[in-house]
Amino acid sequence: MVDDGRPTRDVVTQIRAVGAALDAVGLSLVERDARQRFEDSATSPEAVDALVADLAHLMGR
């Protein structure tokens, strides 16, 4: 888009759309992983702690 001379606004809009799509995929993966952990572990405290740590990491904390 940049090489084609598209306006900066259009380029940034597309970049944001890609970012939102990646966020949605990431959230879907986290949800799948969380469900699997709870099924596999019968919701042990360790599984909950691990999930919370992973979520905190994904959120940049």
pLDDT in tens, 3-58: 999 999 999 999 999 998 998 888 788 778 877 877 776 677 787 788 778 877 87
CA distances from 45 to 22, 37, 54 (A): 30, 11, 14
Residue 58 CA to residue 34 CA, distance in Å, equals 13
Query: Can you give the pLDDT at residue 41?
Result: 66
pLDDT in tens, 11-22: 999 999 999 899
pTM: 0.60
Calculated CA dihedral for residues 12, 25, 31, 51, nearest 10 degrees: -70
